[in-house]
């Protein structure tokens, strides 16, 4: 079981195969193709580099276009009219890059 960073962390499970599947502690599941995952990582790397980035997935703020940049906004860029998958999880680009090779 993995967990998000910060004071109010959330537990989640993830599995990598031909897609990445993420399930939160409420059993809500999101699945992303490797192509989608790569686009999210590219956006996060372009905006944050090796620094940590916020979850930034407040659905109300995203719906009004007022949410700050973060993982939620990176996911929203994949499908600008669907904010449902944006209530996801936080990752560290640094940790991701350290553990996975491209």
The per-residue pLDDT for range 70-84, each reduced to its tens digit, is 888 888 888 765 655
pLDDT at position 30: 84
User: Is 98 a residue whose pLDDT tops 50?
Assistant: no
Expressed as residue numbers, the domain containing 87 is 12-99
Across 9-26, b (16+ Cβ under 10 Å) vs e yields: ebebeeeeeeebebbbee
* Residue 42 backbone dihedrals phi, psi, to 5 degrees: -60, -45
Distances (CA, A) of 95 to 3, 74, 84: 13, 17, 26
pLDDT digits (tens, 9 = 90+) for 21-71: 888 888 888 888 889 889 999 999 999 998 888 877 777 887 788 889 988
3 within domain boundaries: no
Structure tokens at 67: 């949410």
What is residue 30's three-state secondary structure?
Answer: strand
User: Is 7 a residue whose pLDDT tops 80?
Assistant: no
Domains in the chain: how many in total? 1
> Structure pTM?
0.67
The answer to whether 35 and 25 are in contact (CB under 8 A) is no
User: Is 101 a residue whose pLDDT tops 50?
Assistant: no
5 within domain boundaries: no
66 within domain boundaries: yes
Taking the CA of residue 78 as centre, how many other CA atoms within 13 Å lie in the half-sphere pointing to its CB? 21
């Amino acid at each position: 079981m993995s967990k998000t960073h910060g004071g109010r962390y959330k537990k989640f499970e993830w599995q990598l195969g031909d897609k990445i599947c993420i399930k939160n502690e409420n059993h809500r599941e999101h699945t992303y193709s490797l192509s989608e995952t790569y686009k999210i990582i590219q956006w996060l790397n372009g905006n944050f580099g090796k620094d940590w980035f916020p979850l930034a997935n407040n659905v109300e703020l995203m719906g009004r276009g007022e949410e700050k940049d973060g993982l939620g906004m990176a996911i929203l860029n994949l499908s600008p009219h669907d904010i449902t998958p944006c209530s996801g999880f936080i990752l560290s680009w640094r940790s991701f890059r350290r553990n996975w090779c491209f």
